[in-house]
Structure 1
Amino acid sequence: MKMNWAGVMPAVTTKFTDGDQLDLSMFSKNINAQLEAGVHALILGGTLGEASTLTQQEKQTLIEHTVDLVAGKVPVVINIAEQTTKGAILAAEQAEKYGAKAIMILPPMRYKSTDYETVAYFRAVAQNTSLPMMIYNNPVDYKIEVTLDMLEELLVHDNIQAVKDSARDITNVTRMRNRFGNRVKILCGVDTLALESMVMGADGWVAGLVCAFPRETVAIYELVKAGKIKEAITIYRWFMPLLELDISPQLVQNIKLAEVATGLGTEIVRLPRLPLQGKERERVLAIIEEGMRTRHSILNLVNSKVGV
């Protein structure tokens, strides 16, 4: 099965009610805004989606609800972050059963696997699913690096097709292009490096602040791909203080506060997370408020430059 690993792919947040249930109404509002902005896929169950706090039934509900909601307009991708190989294989089987069209997968959780073990883990999942797979390389946060040599071993599997790179090293894009050409698709996984990564040849952007600002995020991608770098940079510079909210241990709380500002979410998180408090809350709100104050001129630029 092929997947077009390109474009803007929101790592969507999971919405909850005051009673700690899934808020499918607000979730749907956000997803519809993403679709209207022109995103190219939707990724469920990532860190931003608070996947570690979700039950299996909730994951099933989210996948099936999203698949029904998008009605084939874009692929639904499920993130796999499991502690065991058996658990990862089961998660892949369930994702396919519930209607997901592709998988994004992290190395084993908690246990710091060796290079050999990490390759064996990814290989086992690839051999037990027909879904296309994107390897998630995030050595900064998860302490396991998927090296180019490891990726070379994995690309013998036809369904391992892409890498989400969150190594925070912009030269990785060039290294992968030099080594693999177009054999692997590359998506930037760090909001604050997205424009630079795409200019250097990345195929797309697994984005976080897109949850609150979908039109602006898609505009940057479209302008870069159209060669309108100057216009893309103008939006990107406005966006940067907001994008920096993604590179924080409290990225979920930060981005959910931004969603409140744009009417696309609530700030309800699931324990053990709690809403931001005190001076940190004030700091984040100030960034969001400044972004909202100046947003009108950016949206005017989006409307005038994208698609012309």
Structure 2
Amino acid sequence: MSVKWEGIMPAITTKFNDDDTLDFNMFEINIKAQLDAGVHGIVLGGTLGEASTLLEEEKRSLTQVTVKMVEGKVPVMINIAEQSTKAAIKAANMAEEDGASGLMMLPPMRYKSSDRETVEYFKAVAKNTSLPIMVYNNPIDYKIEITNKMFDELLKFDNIEAVKESTRDVTNITRIKNRFGDRLKIMTGVDTIAFESLVLGADGWVAGLVCAFPEETVAIYELIKAGRIQDALEINRWFMPLLELDIVPELVQNIKLAEVYTGIGTENVRPPRLPLAGKKRKKVIKIIEDSLKTRPDLAKYKI
């Protein structure tokens, strides 16, 4: 299935049973909620998907099961976050075998590669897969920035098609558009500045709180696309306290707790992560409960 790098693509959380096995029953409930809300793609095994804790066979199972669940309605992407070029190529090949439509790809893990090494890493994978690639540019969390100068070289490969723009600098949207036009599609990757990024011309949003609030997230995108900026702004202002749960170290626990409140997830995380406790838990619960009390009636927006 071809990938249009646009719209809302949830960075899906990985669901676990109490015994730490993959919980495909709850996973399917969440995927159905995303599809019913009108998302435009599914991204597996990212930061929210607890990628660093997943075994190779679990990643493969997630991909295979998700492809069956979506039944061709939307493309399914799997994240590549590996320590070696060899492992990244292997992961890309397995994703293709398992039916993924595309790849989201981080720079090398652990080793802080130079610009030249980073470019060669992406190029090596691009040469060894036919799948389209979205480069995940998140120097805040992963300490390596893919600059526009580096993209000049990377875009010589036709299957490097998009960037998940997570630098936190919204002016990069304009810089990328000015430099590359539509050659490099932009998926904003930071929930708290997604509204601004979409208004400035980002093509879509790889979202986090969408895991718990798919309808509201899709509504913001659709309203902006329709030019109804004020309506989208109203929803975004309501959403902001929740969106801020995505930009802290405990984002996985926060969003999984929100999924519990909206009935499409559980709190189970894979150790060393643990569910929220104490003051942090009380604070997040208050944010979620207060937001649910004032949840917007999307029917009035007639999207």
CA deviation after TM superposition for structure 1 residue 277, in Å? 1.1
Q: What is the match of residue 55 of structure 1?
A: 55
SS in 1 for 2:182: coil
Following the alignment from structure 1 to structure 2, what is the Cα–Cα distance between the partners of residues 247 and 28? 26
Identical amino acids, percent of aligned pairs: 66
- 2:284 — aligned with what? 284
Could you state the TM-score of these two structures normalised by the residue count of structure 2? 0.99
What CA deviation, in whole Å up to 9, does each residue of 1:34-55 have, x standing for no partner?
Answer: 0000000000000100111111
**CA deviation vs aligned residue, 1:76-110 (integer Å, no higher than 9, x gap):** 00000000000000000000000000000000000
SS in 1 for 2:134: strand
1:128-139 counterparts in 2 under 5 A? Answer: 128-139=128-139
Unaligned stretches of 5+ residues in structure 2 = none
2:228 match = 228
Distance in 1 of aligned mates of 2:171 and 2:270: 36
Partner in structure 2 of residue 101 of structure 1: 101
Deviation track 1:13-35 (CA, whole Å, cap 9, x = no partner) reads: 00001111110000000000000
The residue number in structure 2 matching 1:111 is: 111
State the SS of the aligned residue for 1:182.
helix
Q: Give the aligned CA root-mean-square deviation in angstroms.
A: 0.8
Q: Confirm whether residue 304 of structure 1 aligns to residue 264 of structure 2.
A: no
Checking the alignment, whether the CA contact within 8 Å between 2:126 and 2:160 is kept in structure 1 is yes
Q: Give the drift of 1:2.
A: 4.7
Q: Which secondary structure state, in structure 2, belongs to the residue aligned with residue 269 of structure 1?
A: coil
1:135–1:162 Cα contact (<8 Å) kept: yes
Q: Which residue of 2 aligns with 1:273?
A: 273
Cα deviation digits, residues 172-220 of structure 1 (max 9, x gap): 0000011111111001000000010010000000000000000000000
Residues 219 and 306 in structure 1, CA contact (< 8 A), matched pair in contact too: no
**What is the 5 A alignment of 1:133-212?**
133-212=133-212
Which residue of structure 2 aligns with residue 5 of structure 1?
5
Aligned partner of residue 206 in structure 1, secondary structure: strand
Structure 1 SS opposite 2:108: coil
Q: d(CA) in 1 for partners of 2:128 and 2:253?
A: 35
**Which residue is equivalent to 1:18?**
18
The residue that corresponds to 1:216 in the other structure is 216
Q: Using a 3 Å threshold, how does the CA distance of structure 1 residues 117 and 306 change in structure 2: closer, same or farther?
A: farther
SS of corresponding position for 1:205: strand
The count of residues paired between Structure 1 and Structure 2 equals: 303
Gaps of 5+ in 1: none
Q: Deviations over 1:132-179 (max 9, x none)?
A: 000000000000000000011100100000000100001000000111
CA contact (8 A) 1:222 1:306 kept: no
